[in-house]
Chain A
Amino acid sequence: MTQSPLLTIDDLWIDVGSNPVIEGVSLSIKPGEMLGLVGESGCGKSVTALSIMRLLAEPPMRIRQGAIHYDGQDILAMSNAELERLRGNQIAMIFQEPMTSLNPVFTIGDQIAEVVLLHKTSDKAEAARRAVELLERVGIPAPEKAAQKYPHEMSGGQRQRAMIAIALACDPKLLIADEPTTALDVTVQAQILELIEDLRREMGMAVLLITHDLGVVSQYCGRVAVMYGGRVVEEAPAEELFANPRHRYTEALLRTIPAANPPGVELPAIPGTVPPPGARPSGCAFHPRCSACLDICTEEMPELTGDDHHRLRCWNAA
């Protein structure tokens, strides 16, 4: 079944000053699916996410070329008023550290109610009731009491639940979750991921899950896009990607994690370091670290190959 995508990013290029950070990213998200965007620091995954919400710090960042369409509308051409209607109502976002995203001087209940009032026509009392409902929905015990709390009175896990409640306030069709569980303990991480997955299923909400954790992606995402050096280098259904990684970077990354190796043996390490924007090599950005590098890899950016099911940019795929 082919469904028309909810969001498409087409050949997006973004610069910071004179350095390109995003170099031709194309992605699409279908309604109700969870897409994982994985990569290491500096690969451009968070910048990609911010650009969807038009939350880039411009300047120094600048969208050089490309297009982002949400439900047929061109996000890059929207006025501020149109963006206001898009953010929250259609697309919502949660971040890694909820403490810095929440306002420390307002109660959680007020912060949720504020969003409800801003985006929906309702009075204060109704917004406050809705805030309690949302807190209950995200699994916060004693939601009436929790609504009266300030962010610092909650644990990290509770704060992330509160952030999700704010994100849900206007029933968005797409939730962008940027490393939502990276700052949390592993048992709490499992709770938050289960919550996001439940919400996706119940509300038919699409999720763009940005993470560096391959295990998280493998267990929760339908499809995965792997980024390296400002590009999507491989994209496939999760099962397919983890069973049959074809890009040399994906392959090397999966082989190097401790869990994939018997205890005590030397890990098949990837040499070198992730190149920062501005110092990326020519051709395929991974070529100086690649064990299967050809001459062409040092000169030319690999073309997009494969089919809609499994696509990649690699001159010497596995």
Chain B
Amino acid sequence: MTLLEIKNLSKIYHGKNGAKVQALSDVSLDITAGEVVGVVGESGCGKSTLGRSLLRLIEPSGGQLLFEGQDIVPLKKSALKPMRRDLQIIFQDPFGSLNPRHKVGKVIGEPLEVHGIGTKQQRQEKVRELLDLVGLPQNAIDRHPHEFSGGQRQRIAIARALALDPKLIVADEAVSALDVSIQSQIINLIAKLQKQLNISILFISHDLSVIRHVSDRIAIMYLGRIVEMGETEEVMQNPQHPYTQSLLSAIPRVGEKRARTVLAGEVPDPANPPSGCAFNTRCPKVMDVCKQTRPELKAQAQGAVACHLFPQ
């Protein structure tokens, strides 16, 4: 069952002197109930804008967000509030996302308070359950966030995101700031809770090995558009788009010799994107048509690809 249908979502940021940055262009993506969809790409590809737009923390400039069939883009604030119970987010930096003045009990229980759920005692009870769920000690309730390490703070952020029993969580680089030995603990926790509670997750990361580990399907983004999408293992083992191929070969892996083509150049300025396919300035397989016409994301034998090398 489709939980969220993202249809032709776009976001334009307006700068000074009429400058425009198209952070998202025509992004369409479905998320099924209980599914983990990974979104991967380099800085400026629009992955965080996408994640935040789903919760309308950023207002989309166009397109639809059909959550259980209802478009949440035109909803007024008051109508949006009940929807927010089902849509939660975990951010990258657990140092910046927790109020340092509040005790952990308050931090985790606040969403319940905001939505007027239960009595004070019931909320307290729920917070205790959540602490257990994310592997934090009960006495955390009366301590402040600064008393916890980065990994533990991310557990607090996860507990808060789970407080309202959401149906979809956006995890925006949720493990990227953590040390290797802590990262795996949090990946395990997210994976365990996702299965146990049957939550859908949009997992945003620049780290393909993390994305591969947790996601059922992945979408690769470049300069505001999805360039390839498919089942995780199919894409990882047989990447179709030249950008996906370059991205995969650029990751240094333990025990593997580096024998690869290093992609030249850098991601173009999103305020001044190239014509045609946005990747044409760096693509090793560029053709004339790539500079003129933008390829559409089209379903292929495997997944979907936006590239002129494939039937359009």
Contacts and interface: CB of A to CB of B under 8 A. Distances in A.
A258 B212 contact: yes
A257 B191 CA distance: 15
Nearest to B213: A258
B187 A258 contact: yes
A218 B256 contact: yes
B180 A191 contact: no
B250 to A, nearest CB: 4
B11 to A, nearest CB: 21
B280 to A, nearest CB: 15
Contacts of A185: 42-43, 206, 266-267
A190 B253 CA distance: 12
A216 B252 contact: yes
A269 to B, nearest CB: 4
Interface in A222-259: 242-243, 252-254, 256-259
Please tell me the size bucket of the interface on B.
Answer: 35 or more
B253 A259 contact: yes
B90 interface: no
Nearest to A275: B149
A270 B149 CA distance: 15
A273 interface: yes
B184 A213 contact: no
B184 A214 contact: no
A224 B163 CA distance: 44
Contacts of A254: 254
A191 B262 contact: yes
A216 B267 CA distance: 21
A289 B149 CA distance: 15
B149 A273 contact: yes
Contact of A214 (B151, B180, B182, B262): B180
Contacts of A269: 181, 184-185, 188
A254 B258 CA distance: 19
A41 B233 contact: no
Contacts of B212: 258-259, 263
A267 B184 contact: yes
Interface in A138-193: 155, 157-158, 185-191, 193
A299 interface: no
B188 A267 contact: yes
A157 B44 CA distance: 14
Contacts, number: 120
* A194, A253, A259 interface centre (most CB from chain B within 10 Å): A259
Given A214-B254, A269-B188, A274 B213 contact: no
A224 to B, nearest CB: 11
Contact of B252 (A188, A218, A253): A218
Interface string B36-55: 00000011000000000000
A258 B253 contact: no
Interface string B160-187: 0000000000000000000111101101
Contacts of A155: 266
B251 interface: yes
Nearest to A259: B209
A215 B262 contact: no
A87 interface: no
Interface in B188-238: 188, 191-192, 206, 208-210, 212-214, 232-233
12 contacts: A40-B180, A40-B182, A186-B208, A186-B251, A189-B250, A191-B264, A213-B252, A218-B254, A266-B191, A267-B184, A267-B213, A273-B181
Interface of A: 40-41, 155, 157-158, 185-191, 193-194, 212-216, 218-220, 242-243, 252-254, 256-261, 263-264, 266-271, 273-274, 289
